[in-house]
Structure 1
Amino acid sequence: MSKKRLLIVTGLSGAGRSTVLHTLEDWDWEIVDKLPVDLLSDFVGHARSDGPFAVGIDSRTREFDPNELSKRVAEIEGVDPELLFLDCSDDEIVRRYDATRRRHPLAGDADAEAGIERERKLLAPLREVSDSIIDTTECSPAELRERLETSYGADKKPPVVQFLSFGFSDGVPRSADLVFDMRFLKNPYWEPNLRSLTGRDRDVRSYVEADPAYGETLDRIEALLEGLIPRYWAAGKNTLTVAFGCTGGRHRSVAAAEEMAGRLKGEDRTISIRHRDLVD
Structure 2
Amino acid sequence: MTSRLQTVVLTGMSGAGKSVAMQAFEDFGFFCVDNLPPALIPRLLDMAEHASGRLAKMAFGCDLRGGELFEPLLQTLKAIRERKDAEVQLVFLDADDATLVRRYKESRRRHPLAQGARLLESIQEERVALAAVRQAADAVIDTSQLTANQLKQELGRRFVERVMRLPVHVMSFGFKYGVPLDADMVLDVRFLPNPHYIDGLRPYTGEDVPVYQYVMQWPATQEFLKKTEDMLDFLIPEYQREGKSHLVVGIGCTGGKHRSVAIAKHIANHLAQAADVELTHRDFRREG
What do residues 222-271 of structure 1 show as CA deviations (whole Å, max 9, x unaligned)?
A: 111112112222233343222211122112111110111122222x5322
Q: Work out which of the residue numbers 208, 230, 233 in structure 2 matches 1:226.
A: 233
What do residues 137-196 of structure 1 show as CA deviations (whole Å, max 9, x unaligned)?
A: 110111112211222011576442221111222222122222211111122223333333
| 2:194 is equivalent to residue 193 of structure 1 | no
> 2-side partners of 1:122 and 1:211: how far apart?
70
The 3 A distance-change label for structure 1 pair 108 and 250 is farther
TM-score normalised by length of structure 2: 0.88
**1:89-100 equivalences in 2 (<5 Å):** 89-100=96-107
Q: Secondary structure at the match of 1:243?
A: strand
Corresponding residue for residue 59 of structure 1: 64
**1:1-280 equivalences in 2 (<5 Å):** 2-48=3-49, 49=54, 51-61=56-66, 63-66=68-71, 68-76=72-80, 77-78=83-84, 79-154=86-161, 158-266=165-273, 268-279=274-285
Residue identity matched to 2:9? I
> 1-side partners of 2:190 and 2:228: how far apart?
15
> 2-side partners of 1:171 and 1:91: how far apart?
50
Residue identity matched to 1:59? L
Contact kept, 8 Å, 2:255 with 2:284, in 1: the verdict is: no
Contact kept, 8 Å, 1:250 with 1:278, in 2: the verdict is: yes
> 2-side partners of 1:6 and 1:210: how far apart?
53
Which consecutive unaligned segments of at least 5 residues does structure 1 have?
A: none
What do residues 178-224 of structure 1 show as CA deviations (whole Å, max 9, x unaligned)?
A: 22111111222233333332211222222222332111110111111
Residue identity matched to 2:178? G
Contact kept, 8 Å, 2:258 with 2:284, in 1: the verdict is: no
Residue identity matched to 2:124? E
Contact kept, 8 Å, 1:58 with 1:64, in 2: the verdict is: no
What do residues 31-74 of structure 1 show as CA deviations (whole Å, max 9, x unaligned)?
A: 111112221110111125552221110111264344x3111111
Q: Secondary structure at the match of 1:47?
A: helix
Q: Secondary structure at the match of 2:64?
A: coil
TM-score normalised by length of structure 1: 0.90
How many residue pairs match? The answer is: 278
Runs of 4+ in structure 1 over 6 Å off: none
Q: Percent identity?
A: 39
